[in-house]
Structure 1
Amino acid sequence: MNTDLLHTDATGLAALIRSGEVTSVEVVQAHLDRIAAVNPSINAIVSLNDAALAEAQAADDALAAGEPVGPLHGVPFTVKDSLDTAGVLTQRGSPIFRGRTPEQDATSVARMKAAGGILLAKTNLPEFSYSTESDNLLTGRTNNPWNLERTAGGSSGGESAAIAAGMSPIGLGTDLAISVRGPAAQTGIVALKPTHGRVPMTGVWPRAPRRDWHVGPMARTVRDLALAYGVLNGPDGHDGASVVPAGQDTGVGDAPTRPLRVGWYTDSGLGPVDPEVAATVRAAAQALADQGIEVHEVTIPALLQDNPLALFNLQHVMELKPAMAEATAGHEDEMFTMSTGMLATPDTSTSDYVAAEQGFERIRDGYAEFFSTFDALLLPVLPIPAHEHGATEFVIDGQTVDATHVQTFTVQFNITGMPALSMRFGTSSDGLPIGVQIAANRYAESTVLHVAGLLEGVSPVKDSHPRPLSETQDPGPPG
């Protein structure tokens, strides 16, 4: 197994393939070997693309023939199992969809392939993508590569674990409230939730609540997120929320012409945060200040009035329940805990639903005011590092909270539709990754990526890799 290839990012692999230093077949085989070695313990990969090696050979032949190539030519990628993949199982984490094989790719998958990417495998998720832990009755539970007794998160936990463990260099996840950013923080990788509608949701299930779902890239470097985002964004003529032309951006770009202003907080009324997480956010703020960025600790007054997670819980129940009821009708014995819990949740009253909608508007207004002064916001991704499997509550800084509290800092950017990125910038006392979140105004992805790049360049943990198994089982990434 060529372990050097396993920890070269997608951008680097593409360059090596284009230059002829390695072949796509060699890269794909290295990742297949890695999957065989470590996936039995991690359970991130749930099905393989049996044609991956043949497609890699075709990519090598095209390059040898001098044919035009895309930015991901010959590079393997993985996909969360809620996104349709033509000819490859897409089972949505449920026995109800056992054996389901779509005829068409989701738009995002098709765009990765059009850029030259080779679909390698599908990755685990909660049933119907609806949980903060990737576990289901069909393909079981995913474990965190840093500590197999800890969660890799959800709902894109299989994708995050696969990338962190070197089974994939880059992939696609989806995000309803936490689902690319939380798992990325728990496994020490990077993930981007673009502005709502930037990446079409065509070919992804479920779509409800439609206003909150996003497709986003997950990888090990910020430059890979930028590359994938460039490939993925833009309308497809099918998703009515995807209307902004590809490449149109309101952010600062890679070379700002004026000083940047970044606000940061560790609370702002959203509840308790582990002291090590708070310290990591402060360290990231200081790292930006040390690079000449104007940095200020801030409060978002709207969050002191309206809790985003509480409002989301009132709103999304009424929008998701009908889709879940339809999908599970007649299959009640094949439902897992989250779908049964969702269907048993009392309906939200009309008055509470309207109140939640008005609360969303106040939060959007609050952030409009904030971003009239600041370019970006720095804050926690999660209030704690990766937790034990199956936890139902946490004690954080002396306060007991329900396990859903892990979504508190991320869900606000789903309901506002603003772009947000998760990246590692610290390590807990027990050796687990700690992430920070960077958000910006709608359609300002360039700002998010620029600030993340500044932090990545000075990250104290940029060369750290997980070694979850013994050296005899898992040679591990160099580091």
Structure 2
Amino acid sequence: MSDDILFSDATKLAELVRTKEVSPVEIMRAHLDRIATVDPRVNAIVTVVDGALDAAKAAEQAVMSSDALGPLHGVPFTVKDSIDTAGVLTQRGSPLFQGRVPDTDATSVARMKAAGGILLAKTNLPEFSYWIESDNLLSGRSNNPWDLTRTPGGSSGGESAAIAAGMSPIGLGTDLAISVRGPAAQTGITSMKATHGRVPMTGIWPRAPRRFWHVGPMARSVRDIALAFSLLAGPDGQDAFATSTAAFDAGIGRQPYRQLRVGWMVGPGFGPVDPEVVATVKAAADALKQWGVFVEQVGIPALERDFALDVFNRLHVMEMKPAFRQATAGRRPDELYKMAKTMLSLPDTSMDDFIDAEQAVERLRDGYADYFSRYDALITHVLPIPAHKHGVEEFTIDGQTVDATYLQGATVPLNLTGLPGLAMRFGTSKEGLPISVQIVGKWQAESTILHVASLLEAISPVRGLRPAL
């Protein structure tokens, strides 16, 4: 029964609680035991919430008293340690914030709790959520449950590893350029970065700038992502980007009123891609034809004109350096890890380059708008390679040598443009590692990409696979 609990999705666990087949206390104890057994090798968890078991007992009493139950009643969830949690350590992966305990929950955490979810633990990340590996001076390096010598990604790598390893059924991460989708791809789970502003960033560092930042759900099923998003979306009166009140429709199981049109691409415009990854993207696209979806290979010329990763770098260095300077003012160099030192050492972008990059973002948005005037969704890769070994900062991909930032080639365009994207596994490398695809939709079209993802999930060749820990 313990394995059934640990690898059931959050939707199933909530159903078992409502029908009194399993108690919230059983669920919580199973996950606490799993953390104690597995996490010493994975190092995904940085703080276990002291009152989690007591909260489960209170949730059990509510069930027995026939109280009204929320859609996640009695279900544990975990949260990346950059997201504020009231009364629980939130240290942002840095000795600079060691011992920091917020007074209030981030909006996203408060909404998960309001739905009946129980905060179980906080998860590891790179310093300040800034890198593609989850490693820092405060809580060390997280490992990939599929191969402990490899990374679970960054910056939400602790979250992805915890969910993949059965230590959590569902959780929250943040995404600036890759950080919920990349880690999900490296560990074989599912995640979604919604349209920018759909989910408030209130209670997440940095407060400014945040025009490219997102908070998003991470889980093991598409329906869990849809459920979490339905709870998280909507303005909170504090994040001025979060203004959309558009009704949300998960789209799962519904029949479209016309044939869906989906394109797929792995470039040009994303950088080099490993042939195994290309084959997985094509296989996912072809699989949709079984559902009567029109599918064809496409290109987006705007991505070839303006390389999104270069555009992002020129903009974001200028935007983020003030936040880094403020956070690190007066601190000793030995208190800073790799990315803070790197960010502070980078030269400022010239004003001409900054303005050109701003205009490039508009060209990219226009290019995607043109594409989505003809298609409902786009399928790409998430990462150009499967999960890599720890500490590697240069890769040879399909004969081309690139630095580690190129892993963001297919994800960062969505942060620049604000488009929604969902990552889900659809393949396996020759080394037994997950390979995922990214499903992209037009602005506010989360229901469409969730629908497409549910079709792929139903026929996925890797459904139900789990790491052997």
Give the TM-score taking structure 2 as reference length: 0.98
Q: Counterpart of 2:424 in 1: which secondary structure?
A: strand
- Partners of 1:393 and 1:428 lie apart in 2 by 20
Greater mean alpha carbon deviation, residues 110-119 or residues 268-277: 268-277
Q: CA deviation at 1:289?
A: 1.3
Q: CA deviation at 1:2?
A: 1.1
Q: What is the match of residue 322 of structure 2?
A: 322
- State whether residues 142 and 152 of structure 2, in contact with CA within 8 Å, keep that contact through their aligned partners in structure 1: yes
- State whether residues 250 and 444 of structure 1, in contact with CA within 8 Å, keep that contact through their aligned partners in structure 2: no
Q: CA deviation at 1:65?
A: 1.1
Q: What is the match of residue 476 of structure 1?
A: none
- Partners of 2:209 and 2:4 lie apart in 1 by 42
Q: CA deviation at 1:245?
A: 1.2
Q: What is the match of residue 372 of structure 1?
A: 373
- Partners of 2:252 and 2:430 lie apart in 1 by 36
Cα deviation per residue 1:223-245 (whole Å; 9 max; x = unaligned)?
Answer: 00000000100000000000011
Structure 2 CA distance for partners of 1:251 and 1:59, relative to 1, 3 Å? closer
Structure 1: which amino acid aligns with 2:12? Answer: G
Greater mean alpha carbon deviation, residues 203-212 or residues 74-83: 203-212
Q: CA deviation at 1:252?
A: 9.8
Q: What is the match of residue 459 of structure 1?
A: 460
Q: What is the match of residue 443 of structure 1?
A: 444
Q: What is the match of residue 33 of structure 1?
A: 33
- Partners of 2:163 and 2:81 lie apart in 1 by 15
Q: Counterpart of 1:73 in 2: which secondary structure?
A: coil
Q: What is the match of residue 425 of structure 1?
A: 426
Q: Counterpart of 1:55 in 2: which secondary structure?
A: helix
The answer to whether residue 332 in structure 2 is matched with residue 348 in structure 1 is: no
Q: Counterpart of 1:437 in 2: which secondary structure?
A: strand
Q: How does 1:2-401 map to 2 (within 5 A)?
A: 2-245=2-245, 247-248=247-248, 254-332=254-332, 333-401=334-402
- Partners of 1:3 and 1:337 lie apart in 2 by 38
- State whether residues 181 and 410 of structure 1, in contact with CA within 8 Å, keep that contact through their aligned partners in structure 2: yes
Q: CA deviation at 1:206?
A: 1.8
- Partners of 1:251 and 1:7 lie apart in 2 by 24
Q: CA deviation at 1:157?
A: 0.2
- State whether residues 253 and 447 of structure 1, in contact with CA within 8 Å, keep that contact through their aligned partners in structure 2: no
- Partners of 1:208 and 1:411 lie apart in 2 by 19
Q: CA deviation at 1:428?
A: 0.2
- Partners of 1:259 and 1:392 lie apart in 2 by 43
- Partners of 1:207 and 1:186 lie apart in 2 by 28
Q: CA deviation at 1:246?
A: 5.6
- Partners of 1:128 and 1:339 lie apart in 2 by 8
Structure 2 CA distance for partners of 1:60 and 1:250, relative to 1, 3 Å? closer
- Partners of 2:175 and 2:201 lie apart in 1 by 11
Cα deviation per residue 1:126-154 (whole Å; 9 max; x = unaligned)?
Answer: 00001010000000000000000000000
Q: Counterpart of 2:425 in 1: which secondary structure?
A: strand
Q: Counterpart of 1:144 in 2: which secondary structure?
A: coil
Q: Counterpart of 1:317 in 2: which secondary structure?
A: helix
Q: CA deviation at 1:71?
A: 0.2
Q: CA deviation at 1:379?
A: 0.4
- State whether residues 381 and 438 of structure 2, in contact with CA within 8 Å, keep that contact through their aligned partners in structure 1: yes
Q: Counterpart of 1:438 in 2: which secondary structure?
A: strand
- State whether residues 223 and 252 of structure 2, in contact with CA within 8 Å, keep that contact through their aligned partners in structure 1: no
Percent identity over the alignment is 66
Q: CA RMSD in A?
A: 1.2
Greater mean alpha carbon deviation, residues 308-317 or residues 327-336: 327-336
Q: How many residues align?
A: 468
- State whether residues 423 and 436 of structure 2, in contact with CA within 8 Å, keep that contact through their aligned partners in structure 1: yes
Q: CA deviation at 1:270?
A: 1.9
- Partners of 2:243 and 2:315 lie apart in 1 by 24
Structure 2 CA distance for partners of 1:368 and 1:39, relative to 1, 3 Å? same
Runs of 4+ in structure 1 deviating by more than 6 angstroms, as ranges, are: 249-253
Structure 2: which amino acid aligns with 1:373? Answer: R
- Partners of 1:280 and 1:466 lie apart in 2 by 20
Structure 2: which amino acid aligns with 1:230? Answer: S
Q: What is the match of residue 408 of structure 1?
A: 409
- State whether residues 249 and 444 of structure 1, in contact with CA within 8 Å, keep that contact through their aligned partners in structure 2: no
- Partners of 2:8 and 2:250 lie apart in 1 by 31
- State whether residues 263 and 296 of structure 2, in contact with CA within 8 Å, keep that contact through their aligned partners in structure 1: yes
Q: CA deviation at 1:311?
A: 0.4
- State whether residues 233 and 246 of structure 1, in contact with CA within 8 Å, keep that contact through their aligned partners in structure 2: no
- State whether residues 233 and 247 of structure 1, in contact with CA within 8 Å, keep that contact through their aligned partners in structure 2: no
Q: Counterpart of 1:70 in 2: which secondary structure?
A: coil
Q: Counterpart of 1:150 in 2: which secondary structure?
A: coil
Structure 1: which amino acid aligns with 2:107? Answer: T
- Partners of 2:25 and 2:252 lie apart in 1 by 39
- Partners of 2:109 and 2:246 lie apart in 1 by 16
Runs (5+) with no aligned partner, structure 1:
469-479
Q: Counterpart of 2:149 in 1: which secondary structure?
A: strand
Q: CA deviation at 1:255?
A: 2.6
Structure 2: which amino acid aligns with 1:451? Answer: V
- Partners of 1:207 and 1:313 lie apart in 2 by 19
